């Protein structure tokens, strides 16, 4: 069993932010299961992994269907009640295409409060390597929204904890953008701060506001409650 998880696979047909996040989510799930810290392992003791923050940088979008190596590992930056996990997508020639860092909590499903990190995690021989990105604090948008949308949470959005899964939040923000904007820009960075759970039947309001050249601040909310804040940066094509 390796502390660095690696899998060769074709890149997503479309290198969108939701597609890249989905690749990393599956890598995290697979490796956690191999380490005995997967969803089922935690559910057996009434606990669950909760993603708190994610930061992602696209150095070069993978070509559709390109064979790539996906790497993921528990980070030596893990501390306190916050577990960190790093991700990379590299070409088979070892050129870095995408890197990401995530921050996770373990939730006690009975008390609904953060729990201690498992000893099995803290005792790992953490790799002596880090990605070069760190999650940013994201302010509330203050400018007039450039893009808006709404989404009613449906059954396909849910995970094993019966709330919307992590990638759904990114998909909702992405889908609120105009086709013209996406066609004219390449995503460079994504920072997301998860603040509350979205449940089946909730209507999520999405707003994306300009925050300087090539930057958008996004807010996802329901009934006036902020679910997540995102910061995205973009390069013109």
Q: Which of 10-19, 47-56, 173-182, 227-236 has the lowest mean pLDDT?
A: 10-19
- Of 85, 107, 122, the one marking the end of a domain is 122
Beta strands in 162-224 (DSSP E): 185-194, 203-210, 215-222
**Structure token digits, residue 52:** 């708190």
With a cut of 60, say whether residue 221 has pLDDT above it: yes
Residues 6 or more apart from 63 whose CB is under 8 A from it?
11, 15
Mean pLDDT of the chain: 95
Residues 12 and 75 in one domain: yes
Tell me whether residue 129 is in a domain: no
Please tell me the predicted confidence (pLDDT) of residue 1: 54
Tell me whether residue 212 is in a domain: yes
Residues 173 and 112 in one domain: no
Task: Give the tens place of pLDDT for each residue, 99-126.
Answer: 999 999 999 988 989 999 999 999 999 9
**Structure token digits, residue 159:** 């995970």
Tell me the C-alpha distance between 188 and 61, whole Å.
Answer: 9
From the list 175, 176, 150, 154, the residue with the least C-alpha distance to 164 is: 154
Here the CATH number for the domain that contains residue 196 is 3.10.129.10
Longest dimension (CA), the chain: 50
Tell me the C-alpha distance between 116 and 45, whole Å.
Answer: 13
The pTM (predicted TM-score) of the whole model is: 0.95
**Structure token digits, residue 187:** 């995503």
Tell me whether residue 136 is in a domain: no
Domain range for 31 is 5-122
Total domains in the chain come to 2
Tell me whether residue 191 is in a domain: yes
Tell me the C-alpha distance between 125 and 227, whole Å.
Answer: 35
Tell me the C-alpha distance between 108 and 39, whole Å.
Answer: 13
**Structure token digits, residue 53:** 């923050």
The secondary structure of residue 3, as a DSSP letter, is S
Residues 166 and 199 in one domain: yes
Percent of the chain exceeding pLDDT 90 equals 91
Please tell me the predicted confidence (pLDDT) of residue 151: 98
**Structure token digits, residue 28:** 């995290």
With a cut of 90, say whether residue 160 has pLDDT above it: no
Q: What is the mean pLDDT of residues 220-234?
A: 97
Task: Give the tens place of pLDDT for each residue, 32-78.
Answer: 999 999 999 999 999 999 999 999 999 999 998 899 999 999 999 99
- Of 122, 156, 173, the one marking the end of a domain is 122
Q: What is the mean pLDDT of residues 143-148?
A: 95
């Amino acid at each position: 069993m390796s502390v660095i998880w690696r899998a060769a696979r074709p890149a997503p047909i479309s290198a969108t932010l939701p597609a890249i996040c989905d690749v990393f989510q599956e890598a995290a799930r697979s490796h956690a299961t191999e380490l005995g810290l997967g969803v089922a392992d935690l559910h057996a003791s009434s606990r669950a992994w909760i993603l708190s923050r994610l930061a992602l940088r696209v150095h070069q979008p993978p070509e559709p269907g390109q064979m790539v190596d996906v790497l993921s590992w528990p980070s030596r930056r893990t501390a306190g009640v916050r577990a960190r996990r790093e991700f990379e997508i590299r070409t088979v020639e070892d050129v870095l295409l995408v890197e990401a860092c995530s921050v996770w909590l373990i939730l006690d499903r009975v008390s609904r409060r953060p729990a201690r990190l498992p000893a099995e995690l803290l005792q790992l021989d953490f790799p002596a390597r880090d990605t070069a990105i760190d999650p940013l604090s994201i302010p509330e948008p203050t400018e007039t929204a450039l893009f808006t949308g709404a989404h009613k949470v449906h059954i396909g959005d849910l995970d094993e904890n019966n709330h919307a899964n992590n990638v759904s939040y990114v998909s909702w923000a992405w889908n609120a953008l105009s086709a013209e904007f996406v066609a004219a820009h390449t995503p460079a960075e994504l920072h997301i701060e998860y603040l509350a759970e979205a449940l089946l039947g909730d209507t999520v309001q999405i707003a994306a506001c300009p925050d300087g050249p090539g930057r958008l601040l996004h807010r996802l909310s329901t009934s006036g409650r902020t679910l997540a804040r995102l910061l995205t940066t973009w390069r013109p094509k």
